[in-house]
Structure 1
């Protein structure tokens, strides 16, 4: 990655602001095979780690990360409020007005039921669009590298092509369906390069 890329280490992320939805997901830094990871554990809880920061998509349009999950949530309808739980998600947000709810967000999720490549509106607000990058148990327990062109995803999901975003977050949650989840994240970054990260 280039020197002007934005890297967010597990130690950075664990210090981000916590946004509570239902209870508090446990976030902590662990070390495995000489690699520092962010571990997110949700026991029927939902809270996110988020960073409010303007990020120039003209300079660093590609969002990179590696993630791994311990399992998925069987039998959920993720298009309904009762099924709006994901073992792992990473999301970006941009402001569209002056009021706090004037926000559009793209949620990249590890889905349990919705097929990979599927997009749908969040069950609680159409201002959040979900995009399943992984689905089901096929790659559970494996590290998976992701690269997203954030501007292209906004164009696809909202019909816009923003030059910047205003926030970044990640979460593991299980509050709506009262399920448990554990996920691990590393190599989170915005980059000028579409090359995927080298996962552990």
Structure 2
């Protein structure tokens, strides 16, 4: 059974992410994260697991997520903590391939776009999207994934865009059906992934997707916590 992680006296909670354990609806501080040209969406619902309310995601040839919109400066160190569980990994899952770019569970961290670091065509493309859809695209992103083949601790670029870096924090089928706790320093990870200081974090999302492999899985997400480390 899961027990909540206690903060040490030297830690300080960062701006609040709505806790799944306290929500009455999946829309309490979170909103759907959907993508163009993907009509089949994953299903997210609140349920009680081992006496604690969590979010359960079901994906079957589908893709979508839940995102919390925030605005947080990572500064010297910002710790992201969560726990998750999956029913299975995808037999055809492969983080290095477009056809295998599916994960039973992932945490998506979106950073603010930095126009001064982008070329003319990148800025123009983003402006066109903003005009068409009324929403600005994020900049770089980190995806913490439950991978199938990628070894734990290995980074790869997303096969669709080099603006997103993928890090396997859990991998393989060994721990399927078990709660796994994860802790990452977002600031340190951004520096390693992109070789520069991180801009503001503008969103954190959960996502279970299987639109490329056509497979199916369930995932359970516990509370996601942001902590300012000393």
TM over 0.5: yes
- Counting only pairs closer than 5 Å after superposition, residues 54-65 of structure 1 correspond to structure 2 as 54-58=71-75, 61-65=78-82
Q: 1:193 to 1:36 in 2, by over 3 A?
A: farther
**Among 3, 26, 32, the residue aligned to 1:14:** 26
Cα distance in structure 1, aligned partners of 2:201 and 2:49:
32
Q: Does 1:71 align with 2:88?
A: yes
Q: Does 1:139 align with 2:175?
A: yes
CA drift of 1:172 comes to: 0.4
Consecutive unaligned residues in structure 2, runs of 5 or more: 1-6, 116-125, 127-135
Cα distance in structure 2, aligned partners of 1:119 and 1:126:
12
Q: Does 1:118 align with 2:154?
A: yes
Of the two, which has the highest radius of gyration? 2
Consecutive unaligned residues in structure 1, runs of 5 or more: 195-200
Q: 1:94 to 1:185 in 2, by over 3 A?
A: same
Cα distance in structure 1, aligned partners of 2:167 and 2:178:
20
Q: 1:102 to 1:37 in 2, by over 3 A?
A: closer
Report Cα offsets for 1:72-110 as digits up to 9, x if no partner: 001333211110000000011112236434510000000
**Among 162, 165, 180, the residue aligned to 2:198:** 162
Cα distance in structure 2, aligned partners of 1:49 and 1:94:
16
Cα distance in structure 2, aligned partners of 1:121 and 1:162:
17
User: Residue 27 of structure 1 aligns with which residue?
Assistant: 44
State the TM-score, normalizing by the size of structure 1: 0.89
Cα distance in structure 2, aligned partners of 1:3 and 1:129:
27
Alignment check: 8 A CA contact 1:60 1:190 kept: no
State the TM-score, normalizing by the size of structure 2: 0.78
Alignment check: 8 A CA contact 2:93 2:103 kept: no
Q: State which drifts further: 16-25 or 92-101.
A: 92-101
Q: 1:102 to 1:63 in 2, by over 3 A?
A: closer
Cα distance in structure 2, aligned partners of 1:149 and 1:59:
10
Root mean square deviation of aligned Cα: 2.1
User: Residue 209 of structure 2 aligns with which residue?
Assistant: 173
User: Residue 84 of structure 1 aligns with which residue?
Assistant: 101
Higher helix share: 2
User: Residue 188 of structure 1 aligns with which residue?
Assistant: 224
User: Residue 198 of structure 1 aligns with which residue?
Assistant: none
Q: Alignment length, in residue pairs?
A: 194
Cα distance in structure 1, aligned partners of 2:151 and 2:177:
18
Higher strand share: 1
